[in-house]
Amino acid sequence: MGLLTIGAFARAAGLTPKALRLYGRVGVLAPAAVDSESGYRLYDPRQVPLARLVAQLRRIGMPLAQIRAVCELEPAAAAQAVTAYWRQVSVDTAARARLAGLLVDHLSEGSATVSRTNRTVAVRYAAGCDTGAVRDSNEDVAYASERLLAVADGVRGPGGAAASAAAVDALTALELADGPAVDLLTMLAGAVTDADRVVRELATDDHQPATTLTALLRSGTHLALVHVGDTRAYLLRDGELSLLTQDHTWVQTQVDQGRLDRDEAGAHPQRAVLVRALGGGQQVEADLALRAALPGDRYLLCSDGLWAVVDRVALFSTLSAAADPEHAVRALVHDARAAGAPDNIACVVADVVAV
Ligand code: MG
């Protein structure tokens, strides 16, 4: 059998000549020969299976550069590459779906809170970090500014302190950026992906550092919350203390499934095992939320060095009693120390005030 014209080959492969010209140009599927007289492209019939594969990969949305790489692989490796591609598409789609959901929530709640949020607010803040009474090193970070509040708890051992510092550093870059509240979430999601990569790069042959991260980034009267791991965010509003985050711990998954109750989880020897952390394995998935900053709100961000030893009732009374964020941070660290302070303590308190 001789060579086929582009039209005949396109019919045989189920592609258009236009698509074939594009694939030739980007090096995905080159013609077998070009007629030196007429300039016509000619294809070998044995190229049909490859052309069909390219068409199928295009149908699942794979970019041409990736298709070129897949076409050079043996079938087993190609199958793996397609699986990896599809996993990535699913992760990206889930992340976009989450952002879209948050955007919808934000847009629909807008009218309800507009009377209280429709003014300028400022934030008064304080941050404190304490090694505690038992550990001889500190892997926690507490950070606070007008725009950003953050705590991170790095794993014990080499690289833990660098991991928590890198996680907070990735967010401080966003303090200078400004834009609509919804952009905050997109920026935060991007910063967390960057931080995850930086933390993974801290790995040595036998050790992978990891860290939690819980942070609030403010833009005007909006606060974007990002959370991974078992550091926590609480809100004291109208005389009630609520927990805004969910611990990404193994014991919490057991509580959610009804296998452990709250007290058993708190006393479990594996209560600190994280199921999500920066540097923790597969691409990290952070919880994201958008909140309205209302005058009178008091936020608390802290590591498990505080919340695991000071119960909710005590947190509430110390937070409610403190005159300002500095006193609150000092009193909370004092409470943790009074409870034995077996772990590092990171603590940020911030008040939203009308200006
Ligand atoms: Mg800790």
Ligand 1 centroid – CA 337 distance (Å): 14
Ligand 1 centroid – CA 224 distance (Å): 23
The three state secondary structure string of 34-62 is ECCCCCCEEECHHHHHHHHHHHHHHHCCC
5 to 10, 11, 29, 33, 172: CA distances (angstroms): 8, 10, 14, 10, 59
Ligand 1 centroid – CA 290 distance (Å): 26
For the chain, list the domains and their CATH numbers.
4-72 (1.10.1660.10), 119-354 (3.60.40.10)
Ligand 1 centroid – CA 343 distance (Å): 6
Structure tokens at 12: 């045989």
pLDDT single digits (tens) 159-177: 899 999 999 999 998 888 7
Q: Count Cα atoms within 13 angstroms, Cβ side, for 85.
A: 18
Ligand 1 centroid – CA 232 distance (Å): 11
pLDDT of the chain, 355 residues: tens digit per residue:
689 999 999 999 888 999 999 898 888 999 999 888 888 889 999 999 999 999 889 888 999 889 999 998 998 999 999 999 998 888 888 777 777 777 776 776 655 554 454 568 999 999 999 999 999 999 999 999 999 999 999 988 788 999 999 999 999 988 887 766 667 888 888 899 989 999 999 988 888 899 999 999 998 888 999 999 999 999 999 999 999 999 999 899 888 888 888 888 888 888 888 888 999 877 788 999 888 899 999 999 999 999 999 999 999 999 999 999 999 999 999 999 999 999 999 999 999 999 8
- Which among 86, 32, 22, 93 is positioned nearest to 54, based on CA atoms? 22
Q: Distance between CA atoms of 104 and 99, rounded to whole angstroms?
A: 9
Ligand 1 centroid – CA 345 distance (Å): 7
Ligand 1 centroid – CA 214 distance (Å): 13
300 to 60, 122, 171, 172, 346: CA distances (angstroms): 45, 16, 18, 19, 10
Residue type for 133, please?
Answer: A
